[in-house]
Amino acid sequence: MMRMEHSSIEVPLRFTIRRAAALILGLAAVVVIAFAASARFGEQPISLSIALADPTSTDAAIFWSLRLPRAVLAIIIGAALAASGSALQGLMRNPLADPFVLGVSGGAALGATLAIAAGLGSAAQLAPEPLRAALARLSAPALFAFAGSIGATALVFAGGRVQGQSSPYALLLTGVIFNAFASAAITAVKALVNPEKLGEILYWLAGTLGYENAWTLALAALLQALAIGTMWMNAGKLNLLMLGDDDAASLGVSVGPTRLVLLLAASLSVAGAVALSGLIGFVGLIVPHVLRLWLGPDQRLLLPCSAFGGAAFLALSDLATRMLFSVFHTELPVGVVTALVGGPFFLLVLHRRRVGSLSPSWL
Amino acid sequence: MNVLEVSALHAGYRHRPVLREVTFSVAPGELWAILGPNGAGKSTLLRTCLGLLSRQAGRISFLGKAIEEWSRRELAQRMAWVPQSFDSAAGFTGLELVLMGRSPHLGLWGLPSRADLDHALALMQDLQIEQLASRASDALSGGERRLLLLARALAQDPRILMLDEPTAFLDLKHQVDVLRRIKAQTEGGLSAMAVVHDVNHAMAFADKVLLLKDGAMLACGSPGSTLTTEVLERLYDLPIASADAGEGQKFFAPRFAQVR
Amino acid sequence: MPRADPIAKFRTLRSGLRLAASLLAMVPIRDGASALDAPIYLGPKPPANVRRVVTLAPSLSETVIALGAADRLVGVSRFDEFPEVSKLPRVGGFLDPSVEAVLALKPDLVLVQPSPGNRQPVEKMAQLGTPILALRMQSVAEILGGVREVGRALGLSDRAESVAQSIERSRAAIRARSAGDKKVRVLFVYGLEPLVVAGPGSFADELMRDAGAVNAAQNVSSPYQTYSAESAIRSRPEVVIVAADDSSGAEKLSRLPGLNQARWVKLQSKDLLHPGPSLSRGLEELFDLIHSTSLQHPPGSR
């Protein structure tokens, strides 16, 4: 942190390019470590030297085709959920906001539930072309989840407009109501389907990371780079929006368009994540919160750090589910691990912060 | 040239028009006091001039250009707002909040230069709030918040300040202090419009007063000639007494005996 | 194929959704059911001499065991309870197999029950060079076909044929024993709270017909149908077979008029619940339950 002397008072500046670069590089290193661990370890012990030397070996197949794509997916999803969670907490001026607050969870879950209930998607032959394979993979619950979350967000935007302006309060309320509606509709579908499909629906709703092909991963990475990049680019304006609409406007922010761009980027990011992973909770709520307690509220710093922190957190949580396979003979949904680990960790951080804040130190 | 010219302004909310036929103009270096009972449209007038509310009719011209022709950013470089308070500063420190006043002059990310930083710190020192620089703004008192918001507005380097009740939440000493600082700024050429509730403040500090009642102008002019017991009684629907304190100072107060 | 249709109400919705999916994905969506009914192979062709087999469902392990090839099993699902496989590594469940665990066992053949739920991991295994045989084991015909197909894949066709024929023989024997008797109206209860009964298209429904019974729950659309108490009374069963693990809710139901006249019996084994080559045993038990003349009290009462 940069401290400069200015006529007898010491000035702490929490956002400087140097500090931001150092923090981001540090967190990027954590992501690399988490990624390496996630690719190196798993349900079965593998030998890296065999995997690298003999591409036809089982070790190579496990390493290149299972672990690497899954570690990449964990990083993409974790970054998307935490970055959009950070942006939405700022936009809604509500610390309880999470990536699913704008009806995205309800829309995605309803879409996926309908796709599963209607029996879409089968264990039929693989489509030969890589392009078709990727689309065929997205054709079942994933595609419907994406469409559902985009549709829900559009609906919430339309419903959350008050006198032609989208107020955070109205958006929040509309999102909550839509999620409640979707949850009721899902309960209705669950009551009507057979047990096999019910199991599938419950598994999807719990949130899991599967194996995606390179094409899908590249598409997801591109989408998230665009969405997170857009949010980060507007992070300075987001800081001003956090003070209130009128404050932001009087400081030169075009409130309506800026908020729309940020909301769209966040929604797109979440929709892209949810389509591939289902509803993985807690990452988007906990990671920005913990980092805010450490780094302060500045979104120029918080947003990219949340992306890296979320990526590392989800990669390590997924590693934990796979390491626990030998205990449970199944992978726990990764959303279960993020909640079980993240909840107590957050409470611990919050408690220590509260105790620590009794001593004179700025937030 | 006048800084701000408002003519035949009608403004308010869609189903609730507030202001009717408001006309005045603010010259450089003038401090205006806007007086009137609650709900008369004082804040609405400020917010409309700031472009935060849209007009229903009439014309607002700022630095010779119609208000709607200014982009938000250009306007923020020249016109600053001091709201009554903030609900939440989201955990920003005093210095971070004041530096946000520089953002209309900075790039997309609002990265301050050394000069911006020095400017912000000098303003804080000037207002004697440099000790708030590293404190979380959410933990501040109402008066401290008010001074931070004033520093933020001054950091914008505006041509005109719009102040919504700048003396609210302040003790007697700080009320006078803030008004004196604003007055000092206007003597340097800055114009200011302040919503005030204390007639005596208007009397003591304002160059011009604007009296609003039920959205319409009751009177407008220099405080000495405009502020009389008759006008104030009409403005507040209250019997008003005045007294001479010597040194050319005149006081107004409700006639408490009659009110009781 | 009533089984493939989830719910009648969803049929219109389903075709609409399917059309939408085809348009969006720009690929023709195959009819899931027709692709699933017949055994299908995915991935590379299995070797002529299959030595290492992984199964992802107990009924498939049971099939391999019935063919006398238990020693070829190298990995099973986490639901397998047969003593023959108790020491084998677990590779996950029917819907959640671990691709990594399966691959690490280097199997010559993986036997799976196809389902939309396990489609992604199963396709991944095939893609990574593991031979897959997907078999549906829900109806008697599918079980017979599955036994023969697994026999072919393991080079044990003769053995498979004799297993299949013994199943056919015991069905014929049971049918002969009940021929000419008056058909007994039976309500087959999978669960009590909520009440779930076997509908047409379920494995239990098929075996009930062999055993000289008529399913009292005829007017339902799903093989595993949630049922109301009113419908249960209206179905006028003579025998109620309770297959639920926890039969504590039976007492309340069995006191209802119309149901208190029925004979309530509790299913002892699980052969009727898990379709597989042991269906002959399940059929025997079912026949005895339906045609037993000894008076039985409702489970849970007194």
- Tell me: the pLDDT tens digits for A148-180? 988 998 888 888 776 666 678 888 889 989 999
Task: Name residue, tokens 């119309």.
Answer: C258
pLDDT tens figures, C29-62 = 333 333 445 788 999 999 999 999 999 999 999 9
Show residues of chain A in contact with B117, CB under 8 Å: 4, 6, 11, 13
**Can you give the pLDDT at residue B227?**
94
Mean pLDDT of A126-138: 48
* pTM (predicted TM-score): 0.84
Interface contact C25-A199, CB threshold 8 A:
no
CA-angle at A329, arms to A277 and C60, nearest 5°: 100
Lowest mean pLDDT among B170-184, C28-42, C78-92: C28-42
Q: What percent of chain A has pLDDT over 70?
A: 86
| pLDDT at residue C252 is higher than 90 | no
Lowest mean pLDDT among A176-180, A305-309, B113-117, C92-96: C92-96
**Can you give the pLDDT at residue B233?**
95
Nearest C-alpha of chain C: how many angstroms from A174?
26
Chain C contact probe: residue of A50, A143, A193, A196 with most C CBs at under 10 A? A196
Mean pLDDT of B88-99: 88
What tokens does B256 get? 């408490």
Nearest C-alpha of chain A: how many angstroms from C35?
6
Interface contact B93-A251, CB threshold 8 A:
no
pLDDT tens figures, A240-259 = 999 999 999 999 999 999 99
SS3 B107: coil
- Kind plus residue range of the DSSP H or E element containing B31: strand B31-35
Mean pLDDT of A328-347: 87
Chain C contact probe: residue of A329, A332, A334 with most C CBs at under 10 A? A329
Chain A contact probe: residue of B48, B77, B95, B96 with most A CBs at under 10 A? B96
| pLDDT at residue A141 is higher than 80 | no
Strands A165-166 and C40-42 come out as: unpaired
**Can you give the pLDDT at residue A163?**
60
| pLDDT at residue B239 is higher than 80 | yes
What tokens does A343 get? 């909840």
Instruction: Closest CB to A93: pick one of B81, B88, B95.
Output: B88
Show residues of chain A in contact with B72, CB under 8 Å: 249, 252-254
| pLDDT at residue B91 is higher than 90 | no
| Cβ atoms of C279 and C245 closer than 8 Å | no
Do chains B and C touch, with touching meaning 3 or more CB–CB pairs less than 8 Å apart? no
pLDDT band at C293 (very low <50, low <70, confident <90, very high): low
Find, in chain B, the residue whose alpha carbon is nearest to that of A95.
B90
Q: Count of A–B CB contacts within 8 Å? A: 112
pLDDT band at A138 (very low <50, low <70, confident <90, very high): low
Mean pLDDT of B83-88: 79
pLDDT band at A79 (very low <50, low <70, confident <90, very high): very high
pLDDT tens figures, A268-279 = 999 999 988 888
SS3 B8: strand
Mean pLDDT of A71-93: 95
- Backbone dihedral region of B8: left (phi > 0), alpha (psi from -120 to 50 degrees) or beta? left
**Can you give the pLDDT at residue C15?**
45
Show residues of chain B in contact with A6, CB under 8 Å: 117-118, 121
Nearest C-alpha of chain C: how many angstroms from A5?
58
| pLDDT at residue A76 is higher than 90 | yes
pLDDT tens figures, B5-24 = 999 999 988 788 899 999 99
Find, in chain C, the residue whose alpha carbon is nearest to that of A123.
C119
Show residues of chain B in contact with A356, CB under 8 Å: none
Lowest mean pLDDT among A38-42, A192-196, A254-258, C178-182: A192-196
Interface contact A117-C104, CB threshold 8 A:
no
CA dihedral C52, C57, C58, C59 (to 10 degrees): -100
Q: What percent of chain C has pLDDT over 70?
A: 84
Find, in chain C, the residue whose alpha carbon is nearest to that of A195.
C224
Q: What percent of chain B has pLDDT over 90?
A: 73
pLDDT band at A231 (very low <50, low <70, confident <90, very high): very high
SS3 A41: coil
CA–CA distance, B22 with B45 (Å, rounded to integer): 9
- Tell me the CB-side half-sphere exposure of residue A226, using CA atoms within 13 A: 12
| Cβ atoms of A243 and B81 closer than 8 Å | no
Q: What is the ipTM of this complex?
A: 0.92
Q: What's CA B17's distance to the chain center, in Å? A: 22
Q: What percent of chain C has pLDDT over 90?
A: 45
